[in-house]
Structure 1
């Protein structure tokens, strides 16, 4: 009898030590990956906005930009480095980047998130890629997705902050091709497709679909056969990201965590530190139960032969207030 007790005790010790060792390995892997994907932001020095394309400081409805109102009014407190404290709400800019050989590429998707654990919710909206606005640090007025081509993450963040008149606490840059592998590692995503369409060799039927990474990428890119054009594509992009967030919040299997690490390390850059990642997992994850989606309204217009999406000052103020309201404790 005593022999069996010794054997069982020994097995128990081996299992516990093995589990502890494996947990330590996972922790170290996550920490290593967190350091690998971390990339801080630099300050972008503004340049005077070019007068080209701007005649008078009127509203966007006329195809011009009101430079008086587009100047950032962020307070000193809002522009200070952000630290998580007692489940403090925060903002995230997600940049889906279509990288090219020998070229920085452009941001194929710009999705802004506000996260408020006190309200147990996330607010999500796209910034349409053709939105005409001041490109902070470049001295021009252009499509907002061109900010990344001109100045990378730093210029994109500053331009979005100016456009929304609200600070970006964190950014996450995702390579679109790598994003497909990330979705595969999660077991795919489920979406409710409002209409049937065919795109680049793939048929997407109407109704509930379970998409792998490649399919999800194609599903989120189609726009020319969508009755709503780019706005329809934005909706599908939010669908995919919403499901990825939901799947991420549910992950507690170490095998899945391991499989995700390589994909994240190869396709993601962010200024979220390892300590903040731990805080998200331990203090935030269980409180986020709802993801609400909104849309920025505007109108398309061709200016000097180029197609833009024009957002009025009134609409910018509405979105700004919506962000502010959602982040209130």
Structure 2
């Protein structure tokens, strides 16, 4: 792995885990290589200008399940987690909104209504970002995608993560009891964060809370990983399981100039209810009043 690519992967790890969990993996101060991409879309160039000028930005974070072919083409991947983050270095605040994957949505270019998670399967991060813009009426400047298999591998590298179960339920043969502390291996952690429809699992809200628990626990464990061998393995796993349209320069600027905002996060989930629509499919229908309040808070943080 060349130094430039290694540096970018390190920055992805730093920013991703700061954005989601506010924990820094480990301290890396010196970077001597910059990355220069020869081609950028107008949107990416505009995002670079925003970051360089230290203006507020909006980023989408996707957690996906995929195999090697799906990951390579960005198509067919199932989005298990959708989070948007407005990061404002001026007021030093980040607004996070977890978007339920089953949200009743209109996907550009697709007839009728679909679940929000389907946008990534149909058209990768580009269509997923456009769907978020259209359905939530928010700007999206960039994205990060994390394959959930990568989380499993990282957790195993750290000898598991410890959480206190927020619910009593069974998933895929794994039993969890509310209030009980348990150390999870990588595969058990995925069982814990994937559950939502099982009796007692608490639907999307319960699953979102569990995902946050595991990510924060993983962040703490990674921060304690001082072994060079372990760090190199972490970098390799990240290289294979994280994609972003942000350059190394963008990531370095986010880490250096947006850090106070990234450490001061306000987390929200859009409220609503599960309903069967005319097509006979279950969807999550957002409470419009709650959605309006949370989206306004999000957009106000971009001013």
Q: TM-score, normalised by structure 1?
A: 0.69
SS in 1 for 2:55: coil
Q: Distance in 1 between matches of 2:181 and 2:264?
A: 20
Q: Are 1:41 and 1:154, in contact at CA under 8 Å, matched by a contact in 2?
A: no
Alignment match, 2:151: 179
Q: Distance in 1 between matches of 2:80 and 2:219?
A: 19
Q: Distance in 2 between matches of 1:121 and 1:247?
A: 25
Structure 1 or 2, whichever has the larger Rg, is 1
1:213-237: CA deviation from partner (whole Å, max 9, x where unpaired):
3222111011212352222112212
Alignment match, 1:233: 207
Q: Which sits farther off after the overlay, 113-122 or 294-303?
A: 113-122
SS in 2 for 1:81: helix
- For the pair 1:92 / 2:59, whether they are aligned, the reply is yes
CA displacement at 1:307 relative to structure 2: 0.8
Q: Distance in 2 between matches of 1:184 and 1:162?
A: 38
Q: Which sits farther off after the overlay, 288-297 or 127-136?
A: 288-297
Q: Are 1:185 and 1:260, in contact at CA under 8 Å, matched by a contact in 2?
A: yes
Q: Distance in 2 between matches of 1:189 and 1:159?
A: 34
Alignment match, 2:299: 324
Q: Distance in 2 between matches of 1:251 and 1:281?
A: 19
Q: Distance in 2 between matches of 1:235 and 1:98?
A: 19
Q: Which has the higher contact order (CA 8 A, sep 6+)?
A: 2
Q: Are 1:134 and 1:141, in contact at CA under 8 Å, matched by a contact in 2?
A: yes
Point out where structure 1 has 5 or more consecutive residues left out of the alignment.
Answer: 1-24, 44-76
Residues 317/183 of structure 1: CA separation in 2 closer, same or farther (3 Å cut):
same
Q: Distance in 2 between matches of 1:284 and 1:185?
A: 29
Point out where structure 2 has 5 or more consecutive residues left out of the alignment.
Answer: 14-34, 71-75
Q: Distance in 1 between matches of 2:288 and 2:264?
A: 29
Q: Are 1:34 and 1:274, in contact at CA under 8 Å, matched by a contact in 2?
A: no
The Cα RMSD (Å) is 3.6
Alignment match, 1:220: 193
1:123-148: CA deviation from partner (whole Å, max 9, x where unpaired):
32321111111102324321111111
CA displacement at 1:292 relative to structure 2: 2.9
Q: TM-score, normalised by structure 2?
A: 0.74
